[in-house]
Amino acid sequence: MRRGWQVACVCLLGVFVPALVTSLDYSLTDALGPGPGFFPFWLSAIGIALCLAMLVQLVRGGVVSHDAAALPLSRQAALQAGAVLLALTMAAAFLEPLGFRLTMLPFIAGLLLALGARSLLAVALCAVAGSFGVFHVFYYWLKVPLPIGVLGI
């Protein structure tokens, strides 16, 4: 877990340092007081200081005890989490081109099967309800527009 915290500190630095640099493009003060760059600049500076202090703390052995382990991560868990992320990203990518119904149908069915659902009938029903059913409720009853893709569906 200590390694995880060190990585986290480095990632945070990777956010705070560019933020500090970018905030210099905006004026730090103006006639009335703090300008658009003021808070971003000082917040980034404080953030950098905190990250460095944390790194020092970690090196000296504090915060995270030596033998503390992060939550266990099995191969299966990692694969499933990866599958979920992949499915989400692809669904987001195809949501507007293919439309809500045509994207959610394979998304629901595929993910259910990938995660081990067994009854094909239940999977099919859920997929249809979750895509076409939900679309109908939102678009026609609630008047909330959901994307319709190039195929007109």
Footprint on residues 25-44 left by other proteins (CB under 8 A): 26, 30-36, 39-40, 43-44
Tokens of 141: 């009853």
**Residue 99 C-beta: closest distance to other proteins, Å:** 12
Strands (E), 1-153: 29-30, 33-34
Cα 15–Cα 17–Cα 19 angle in degrees, nearest 5: 70
Residue 153 binds other proteins (CB under 8 A): no
List, in sequence order, every residue forming a beta bridge with 55; answer none if it has no partner.
none
Question: Closer CB to other proteins, residue 102 or residue 108?
Answer: 108
Which of positions 34-93 make contact with other proteins (CB under 8 A)? 34-36, 39-40, 43-44, 46-47, 50-51, 53-54, 56-57, 60-66, 70-71, 73-74, 76-81, 84-85, 87-89, 91-92
Q: How far apart are CA 127 and CA 76, in angstroms?
A: 24
**Residue 121 C-beta: closest distance to other proteins, Å:** 13
How many residues bind other proteins (CB under 8 A)? The answer is: 76
Tokens of 83: 């599958």
Q: How far apart are CA 132 and CA 139, in angstroms?
A: 10
Cβ atoms within 10 Å of 93's Cβ, excluding its own: 11
**Residue 44 C-beta: closest distance to other proteins, Å:** 7
Which of positions 106-125 make contact with other proteins (CB under 8 A)? 107-108, 111-112, 115-117, 122
